[in-house]
Amino acid sequence: MPSPYRAIFVAPGAKGFSTAGFFGRMTLSMMSIGIVTMVSQLTGRYGLAGALSATVAVADAVAGPQISRLVDRYGQRRVLRPATLITAVALAGLLVSAQQRWPDWTLFVFSVGVGCVPNIGAMVRARWAAIYGDSPRLLHTAYSAESVIDEVCFIFGPIISIGLSTSWFPEAGPLLAGCFLVCGVFALTAQRATEPVPRPHGEHSGGSALRSRGLQVLVATFVATGVIFGSLDVVTVAFAAEEGHKSAASLVLAVCALGSCLAGAVYGLLHFKSAPQRRWLLGVCAMAVSMIPLQLVGNLPFLAVALFVAGLSIAPTMVTTMALVEQHVSRAKLTEGMTWTSTGLAVGFALGSSAAGWVVDASGPGAGYAVSGVAGALAAAVAFLGYRRLRPAPHREGSGAHDRDEQHVAQLGGERGGPAREDRDALQRGGAGGGGPQGG
């Protein structure tokens, strides 16, 4: 492992919570595609499969920020375990109702409960921020490492989920996804030493983190980005099925994740002096352009190449997004702020998977990638229109908690020497990687 990555795992407990987060996040890559595969296997209805996946995404969009807001206030252990149990019970109901061919409305009811899954990625990144909040370069590397882990999940998760559902029994993929979630969350919350200190109620004044104008731009852009991801999942499964190799859909989607993983790994080794908002805009535009070749796909090998190229812009854009969230959201609302970006993706994923499912049913898989192309263009347009809002704010609220952050870092053994800096956030706003926070 390159030395910058070795350096971040020196902090006590870092390997433990990152590993637990990896297993918890396998659910993210397995659940939606598992539901699509399961329902399409059992019923042959891609419209229903996409609608159920969309329902899970919408429920996650509603519940996710609220769960994270409670986490910021009361701590990860007290909130994540009950939320995970609710998700697990709802998933069990969804699998039984699908297997027993219960009425469609029961599938939608249980899908809402499945959508109450906590945002594990935000929880892990919040722990990194608590440890390396005063070291922008290390935080950049840590966020990049987590983006690489995300993509590793998306390389193997769909393969496992689709493979189990197509070769064993249809419910196998979502079932294993639920097991990963329960094990990952309980392992993560068992590690109390690295858990960020909860913020008192008074530090959450000013309402939701979404009141930040910069965060609003990020979330709006990520809605369109989520449409890309949601449509790619559904259309790729349908395209592979039409080609006579439905199980190959997992491999093709894994190629996209592989491209993102490689790009994210390299990105974490680099040190940037340019403003993060410029790199973010470039990444969003690159994603939009990468949707063009998908409109020309005629076979699975060509599709795999096109998705690999598309994946190259994903992880770097996500890393820079977390840097911008850290700039525009106070420390007391950081977990909530990170979750709002995922919420934007979830809303877009819901729209994309549903729209793509209906397009596939009506016009075939080839036409489905048009949904991805339109979404890419929309994401770029929103990013351009909101670019000025992403300039660093003159100050961030919640600075009164910074001294407690330093004390917590010292308790974790994560301080790298040197006195506490009362104006640390002001120094970090100098730019991602080059004096500013990083994320992904």
Question: Can you give the pLDDT at residue 20?
Answer: 93
Instruction: Please give the pLDDT value at position 427.
Output: 30
pLDDT for 379 equals 93
The whole-number pLDDT of residue 228 equals 92
Q: Give the span between the Cα atoms of 150 and 257, in whole angstroms.
A: 9
pLDDT at 400: 35
What kind and span of H or E run contains 58? helix 46-74
Residue 110's pLDDT is what? 94
Q: Is the pTM of this model over 0.85?
A: no
Tell the residue number behind the tokens 């608590």, with chain if given. Answer: 130
List the structure tokens of 72: 């910021």
- For tokens 């998933």, the residue is 91
Given this model, what pLDDT does residue 353 score?
79
For residue 12, give both structure tokens. 């006590």
Rg (the chain; Cα; Å): 21
Q: What is the pLDDT of residue 365?
A: 82
All domains of the chain, ordered by start, with CATH?
Answer: 13-199+210-392 (1.20.1250.20)
| CB-based contact 323:279 (threshold 8 Å) | no
Cα gap 146→161, rounded to integer Å: 21
Distances in whole angstroms, Cα of residue 287 to Cα of each of 90, 199, 292, 313: 34, 36, 10, 6
Q: What is the pLDDT of residue 207?
A: 66
pLDDT at 200: 61
The span from the CA of 241 to the CA of 243, in Å, is 5
Cα 334 to Cα 71: distance, rounded to the nearest angstrom = 10
Please list the rounded mean pLDDT of every run of 10 residues in the chain (440 residues): 76 91 87 85 80 83 86 89 93 91 90 88 89 82 85 80 86 92 94 83 60 86 90 86 79 85 84 81 92 87 91 88 81 81 81 85 84 93 88 48 37 37 34 34
56 CA to centre of own chain: 14
Side chain identity at residue 193, one-letter code: A
What pLDDT does residue 201 have? Answer: 56
pLDDT value at position 221?
93
- Residue-level pLDDT at 242: 83
